[in-house]
């Protein structure tokens, strides 16, 4: 506080002894000691208050910085959430469209398969009718061949019976 050395203290003590006198000097010294102690406690209290205020100011500043960072993080999370939701909803719409397309393809495929089945059933019915007609046609051809063979046999005699049997054999093959 004050730069008071040993010589200055001695000088103040001697002046106090002369001015106050030896009888009252102990009482005055005790009072001065109390006031110096009070002054030291006051200065110590002011220093601690100032340091607390500085720490509080630093803490307030630190808290303000922390709040700003927290707000920035909240904004980042909020924007990331919106991005994810938009991406997810787009993907969901695409997936639903794809599923709808697949369902349509399956329905169309089932319809086409049913139509092909009906067509195949119609073709096989027609084919069986055609084969029946062919079979009856080949019977007719066989009968015609055998009739012509009979006619030739009657004309040519023994040659006719050979032709008839060969014509009849060919018709069976």
Say which residues have a Cβ less than 8 Å from residue 103's Cβ, sequence separation at least 6: none
116 within a domain of the structure (yes/no): yes
Question: What pLDDT score was predicted for residue 109?
Answer: 82
Helices (DSSP H) in the chain: which residue ranges?
A: 6-20, 25-156, 158-172
115 within a domain of the structure (yes/no): yes
Are the CB atoms for 167 and 145 separated by under 8 Å? yes
132 within a domain of the structure (yes/no): yes
Domain count, the chain: 1
Query: Over the stretch 4-54, which tens digit does the pLDDT of each residue have?
Result: 788 888 898 888 888 888 888 889 889 989 999 999 999 999 999 888 888
130 within a domain of the structure (yes/no): yes
Are the CB atoms for 171 and 146 separated by under 8 Å? yes
What is the secondary structure of 5-41 as a DSSP string?
-HHHHHHHHHHHHHHH-TTTHHHHHHHHHHHHHHHHH
39 within a domain of the structure (yes/no): no
Say which residues have a Cβ less than 8 Å from residue 145's Cβ, sequence separation at least 6: 167, 168, 170, 171
Whether residue 64 is predicted with pLDDT greater than 70 in this model: the reply is yes
For the chain, first and last CA: distance in Å?
141
50 within a domain of the structure (yes/no): no
CB atoms within 10 A of CB 161: 14
CB atoms within 10 A of CB 133: 11
Domain with 159 in it: 103-173
pTM of the model: 0.34
166 within a domain of the structure (yes/no): yes
CA 47-48-53 angle, 5° bins:
100
Query: Over the stretch 65-106, which tens digit does the pLDDT of each residue have?
Result: 889 999 999 999 999 999 898 888 888 888 899 999 998 888
Question: What pLDDT score was predicted for residue 51?
Answer: 87
Q: How far apart are CA 32 and CA 12, in angstroms?
A: 12
Q: How far apart are CA 125 and CA 19, in angstroms?
A: 149
Question: What pLDDT score was predicted for residue 155?
Answer: 47
Tokens coding 70? 């927290």
């Amino acid at each position: 506080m004050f730069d008071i050395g040993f010589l200055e203290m001695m000088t103040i003590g001697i002046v106090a002894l002369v001015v106050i006198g030896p009888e009252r000097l102990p009482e005055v010294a005790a009072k001065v000691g109390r006031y110096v102690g009070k002054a030291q406690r006051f200065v110590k209290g002011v220093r601690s208050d100032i340091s607390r205020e500085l720490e509080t100011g630093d803490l307030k500043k630190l808290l303000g910085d922390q709040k700003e960072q927290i707000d920035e993080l909240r904004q980042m999370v909020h924007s990331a959430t919106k991005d994810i939701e938009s991406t997810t909803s787009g993907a969901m719409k695409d997936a639903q469209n794809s599923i709808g397309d697949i369902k349509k393809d399956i329905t169309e495929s089932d319809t086409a398969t049913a139509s092909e089945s009906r067509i195949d059933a119609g073709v096989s019915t027609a084919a069986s009718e055609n084969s029946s007609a062919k079979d009856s046609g080949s019977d007719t051809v066989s009968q015609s061949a055998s009739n012509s063979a009979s006619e030739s046999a009657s004309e040519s005699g023994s040659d006719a019976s050979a032709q008839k049997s060969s014509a009849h054999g060919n018709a069976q093959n």
